[in-house]
């Protein structure tokens, strides 16, 4: 906490003519910022007897907490799972480019990779604060390799692992030091998962269930051991069955530890989840929904063939599939009108930016604007235990926020009260 | 006295707001010429429903007043009497109050000058009457135990010193107090009655608040509305040359 003379002399910024998301509602209030944090104007008025040093008119727009993306594999040609000599530059590039999507904090995600990749890449991606250089890195999300063979999705089979032999020691041997790790996705049906979950949780690492064939009982046991998240609900897990809802059943389970809820990631890109399924999940447990992009390196690039981890993917419009052998295999997904001329039907991550996901989520579920915005900001912050300083516009929180128009397009992005990105203004 | 009767709460509020607006502008305030507006004081600080929060949310945050020019009695001061004396001094130093705007309690009190308060009282600490505590319970989730029982308040004498006094009264539950205040004599059991001896008082009320008055009184003042309305129409603006 930076109190004292330095902070007291920092200029006071007052954002006027706006609606801010606070307490779950859009309020017609001004947003006050000082020293990179949200300021309480009442205290400023009565205790310090100060007024704003600068006022900025927001043109009647919406000010929401900056979006937090806890599952993003890369973008703009950068692949976080590739062990290059200068991983830092790639992360920095993505961090800067996602500012225009309204993302102010993110968890670079690595898919299933061989240990050498983890040992090389992890130390090169430290936790960092955001700023004009780009969104802040909250820590890494390691998705795999301790996942189910059957539900590996686009993850390479050759590099899947289990921790049956040495439990947590296998984890450490695979990843190396866990200092920069924030989230680990694993399949709880793997032997000795409970020891691993407990050990990870004890170190403050969020355990997520995904790429798994666990039934509901196994999933509940995992949550009781400490798991708090579900990786891209519906995808890479058993489908909901009325006699065994599987991992999906966690949304309405009565076996969760008291006082603890379950969060679940959803890719609302219009492809990964049918809108009706999105609505079922949202209605069953709206407070746990976390919007993620699960974006791949092809995010921000055009159609064509790109690398993801140890595999190649094919991009067509807003969809990406695992690239197949070069046969004339004509395959298409039942819900998508587009055809993949030489690929598979296995989805391979998404290329929809976070703000597109927010808009699609809003439109598909018919939920309130406040709900849609919280799903991309407050909920991921709560998942990571950061809700006092991120994902919120409460007094004292970091001043990371986005300026949105009524259709939820990003007009400007702020980190620590500083303008870090702005849309080209055609007029006014 | 002027008695201005509007049809309902919203119209009464609007009329009063326009009147205050015009008064301030006609005063021609400037850098060295402040218009001193007096408002009744209230609850102690450090409470969700504190008067400071109330004043901030309903008034100060909507205007661009210099915080140094907003003086509120501090219920958390160590020496409450000294705080009251200092407040009186600040009023004097500001050149006195130009316009005091207040309401009336169901027991006819002005500010927290409960029945029995001296009509020449000054700013001081007052114990609140049960009626007032009940009336304020709505700000404390209806829990009587949470309502403060003491409050700092300007005195009747303090308000009488203002150059002009405006009292806002709306609702049937205030009707009897209004009757006692303007149709009966000056009496310390109904402290608002003190303003019968003030040279410039204006009461703004809605129809319901007049329910206990004589028909003759109401008709007389309603008949004067065309004169009263000249006080708010035209509505001046700081932006024009006025």
Q: Tell me which chain B residue has its CA closest to the CA of residue A46.
A: B67
Q: Is A347 annotated as a binding residue?
A: yes
Handedness of CA A259, A290, A25, A419 (dihedral sign): positive
Q: Tell me which chain A residue has its CA closest to the CA of residue B67.
A: A49
**Number of A–B residue contacts, CB under 8 Å:** 26
The phi and psi torsions of B120 (rounded to 5 degrees) equal -120, 20
Using CA atoms, how far residue A54 sits from A15, A34, A48, A185, in Å, is 9, 11, 17, 45
The span from the first CA to the last CA of chain A, in angstroms, equals 38
Question: Residue A41 and residue B72: Cβ atoms within 8 Å?
Answer: no
* Whole-number pLDDT of residue A202: 97
Q: Is the backbone of residue A177 left (phi > 0), alpha (psi -120 to 50) or beta?
A: beta
Which residues of B fall within a CB distance of 8 Å from A32?
Answer: none
Q: Compute the nearest-CA separation of A352 from chain B (Å).
A: 40
Q: Per-residue DSSP letters for B29-94? A: -BTTB---EE------SSSTT-HHHHHHHHTGGGS---GGG-----TT-SSHHHHHHHHHHHHHHT
Quote ipTM for the complex.
0.84
- Determine which of A15, A41, A46, A54 to mutate to test the interface with B (most B C-beta atoms within 10 Å): A46
Question: Residue B67 and residue A41: Cβ atoms within 8 Å?
Answer: no
Ranking A12-21, B111-120, B198-207 by mean pLDDT, the lowest is B111-120
Q: Is the pLDDT score of B113 beyond 70?
A: yes
**Confidence label for B44 from pLDDT (cuts 50, 70 and 90):** very low
| Beta strands at B99-103 and B37-38: parallel, antiparallel or unpaired | parallel
| Beta strands at A229-230 and B201-206: parallel, antiparallel or unpaired | unpaired
Residues with pLDDT less than 70, chain A: 1-8, 308-310, 324-343, 347-348, 425-428
Identify the burial level of B215 via C-beta atoms within 10 angstroms of its C-beta, where 0-12 means exposed, 13-18 middle and 19 or more buried: exposed
* Whole-number pLDDT of residue B46: 44
Asked if the C-beta of B241 comes within 8 angstroms of chain A's C-beta atoms, the answer is no
Percent of chain B with pLDDT over 90: 64
Question: Residue A30 and residue B64: Cβ atoms within 8 Å?
Answer: no
Q: What is the b/e burial string over A289-311, where b = at least 16 CB atoms within 10 angstroms of the residue's CB?
A: bbbbbbbbbbbbeeeeebbbbbb
Q: What is the pLDDT of residues B124-161, one digit of tens each?
A: 988 877 877 787 777 777 888 877 777 888 999 999 99
Q: Tell me which chain A residue has its CA closest to the CA of residue B73.
A: A46
Q: Compute the nearest-CA separation of B65 from chain A (Å).
A: 9
Contact B40, B102 (CB under 8 A): yes
The phi and psi torsions of A360 (rounded to 5 degrees) equal -65, -40
Q: Tell me which chain A residue has its CA closest to the CA of residue B72.
A: A46
Asked if the C-beta of A179 comes within 8 angstroms of chain B's C-beta atoms, the answer is no
Instruction: Give the separation between CA A338 and CA A322, rounded to whole angstroms.
Output: 15
Mean pLDDT (chain B, rounded) = 89
Q: Is A143 annotated as a binding residue?
A: yes
Which residues of A fall within a CB distance of 8 Å from B67?
Answer: 44-46, 48-51
Q: Compute the nearest-CA separation of B203 from chain A (Å).
A: 31
* Whole-number pLDDT of residue A427: 36
Contact B68, A49 (CB under 8 A): yes
**Confidence label for B43 from pLDDT (cuts 50, 70 and 90):** low
Contact A295, A351 (CB under 8 A): yes
Q: Which of A42, A49, A50 comes nearest B56 by C-beta?
A: A42
DSSP state of A129: -
* Whole-number pLDDT of residue A330: 38
Question: Residue B52 and residue A46: Cβ atoms within 8 Å?
Answer: yes
Asked if the C-beta of B72 comes within 8 angstroms of chain A's C-beta atoms, the answer is yes
Instruction: Give the separation between CA A37 and CA A415, rounded to whole angstroms.
Output: 9
More confident residue, A280 or B42: A280
**Confidence label for B80 from pLDDT (cuts 50, 70 and 90):** confident
Task: List Cβ neighbours of B163 (8 Å cut-off, separation of 6 or more).
Answer: B96, B97, B98, B99, B200
More confident residue, B182 or B130: B182
| Beta strands at A31-34 and A12-22: parallel, antiparallel or unpaired | antiparallel
* Whole-number pLDDT of residue A335: 40
* Whole-number pLDDT of residue A136: 97
Active site residues of A: 294
Pick from A347, A372, A419, A360: which is nearest to A154 by CA?
A347
* Whole-number pLDDT of residue A4: 42
* Whole-number pLDDT of residue A328: 34
């Amino acid at each position: 906490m930076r109190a004292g003379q330095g902070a007291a002399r920092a200029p006071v910024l007052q954002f006027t003519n706006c609606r801010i998301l606070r307490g779950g509602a859009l309020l017609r209030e001004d947003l006050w910022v000082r020293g990179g944090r949200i300021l309480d104007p009442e205290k400023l008025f009565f205790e310090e007897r100060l007024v704003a040093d600068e006022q900025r008119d927001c043109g009647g727009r919406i000010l929401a907490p900056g979006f937090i993306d806890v599952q993003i594999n890369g973008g703009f040609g950068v692949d976080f799972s590739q062990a290059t000599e200068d991983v830092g530059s790639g992360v920095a590039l993505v961090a800067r480019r996602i500012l225009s999507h309204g993302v102010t904090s993110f968890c670079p995600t690595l898919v299933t990779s061989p240990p050498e990749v983890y040992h090389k890449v992890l130390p090169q991606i430290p936790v960092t604060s955001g700023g004009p250089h780009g969104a802040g890195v909250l820590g890494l999300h390691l998705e795999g390799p301790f996942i189910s063979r059957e539900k590996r999705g686009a993850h390479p089979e050759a590099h899947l692992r289990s921790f049956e032999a040495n439990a947590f020691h296998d984890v450490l041997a695979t990843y190396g030091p866990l200092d920069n790790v924030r989230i680990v996705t694993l399949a709880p049906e793997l032997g000795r998962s409970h020891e691993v979950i407990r050990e990870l949780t004890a170190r403050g690492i969020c355990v997520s269930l995904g790429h798994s064939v666990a039934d509901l009982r196994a999933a509940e046991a995992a949550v009781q051991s400490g798991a708090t998240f579900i990786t891209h609900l519906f995808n890479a897990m058993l489908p909901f069955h009325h006699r065994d809802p599987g991992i999906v059943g966690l949304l309405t389970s009565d076996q969760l530890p008291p006082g603890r809820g379950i969060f679940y990631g959803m890719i609302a890109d219009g492809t990964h989840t049918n809108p009706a399924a999105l609505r079922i999940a949202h209605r069953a447990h709206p407070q746990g929904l976390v919007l993620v992009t699960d974006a791949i390196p092809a995010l921000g690039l055009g159609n064509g063939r790109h690398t993801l981890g140890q595999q190649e993917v094919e991009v067509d419009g807003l969809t990406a599939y695992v690239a197949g052998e070069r046969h004339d295999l004509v395959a298409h997904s039942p819900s998508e009108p587009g055809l993949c001329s030489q690929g598979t039907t296995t989805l391979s991550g998404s290329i929809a930016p976070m703000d597109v996901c927010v808009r699609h989520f809003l439109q598909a579920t018919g939920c309130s604007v406040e709900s849609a915005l919280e799903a991309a900001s407050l909920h991921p912050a709560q998942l990571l235990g950061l809700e006092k300083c991120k994902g919120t516009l409460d007094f004292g929180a970091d001043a990371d926020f986005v300026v949105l128009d009524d259709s939820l397009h990003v007009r400007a992005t702020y980190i620590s009260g500083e303008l870090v990105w702005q849309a080209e203004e055609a007029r006014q | 006295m002027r008695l201005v009767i509007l049809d309902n709460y919203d119209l009464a509020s609007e009329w009063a707001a326009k009147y205050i607006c015009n008064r301030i502008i006609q005063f021609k305030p400037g850098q060295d010429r402040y218009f001193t507006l007096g408002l009744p004081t209230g609850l102690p600080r450090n409470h969700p429903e504190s008067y400071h929060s109330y004043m901030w949310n309903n008034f100060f945050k909507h205007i661009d007043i210099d915080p140094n020019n907003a003086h509120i009695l501090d219920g958390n001061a160590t020496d409450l009497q000294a705080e009251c004396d200092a407040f009186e001094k600040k009023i004097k130093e500001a050149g006195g109050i130009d316009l005091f705007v207040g309401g009336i309690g169901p027991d006819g009190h002005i500010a927290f000058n409960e029945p029995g308060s001296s009509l020449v009282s000054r700013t001081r600490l007052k114990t609140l009457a049960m009626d007032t505590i009940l009336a304020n319970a709505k700000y404390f989730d209806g829990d009587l135990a949470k309502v403060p029982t003491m409050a700092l308040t300007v005195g009747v004498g303090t308000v009488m010193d203002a150059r002009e006094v405006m009292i806002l009264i709306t609702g049937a539950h205030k009707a009897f107090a209004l009757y006692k205040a303007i149709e009966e004599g000056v009496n310390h059991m109904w402290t608002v009655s003190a303003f019968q001896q003030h040279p410039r008082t204006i009461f703004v009320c809605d129809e319901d608040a007049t329910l206990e008055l004589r028909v003759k009184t109401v008709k007389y003042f309603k008949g004067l509305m065309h004169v009263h309305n000249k006080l708010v129409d035209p509505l001046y603006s700081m932006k024009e040359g006025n």
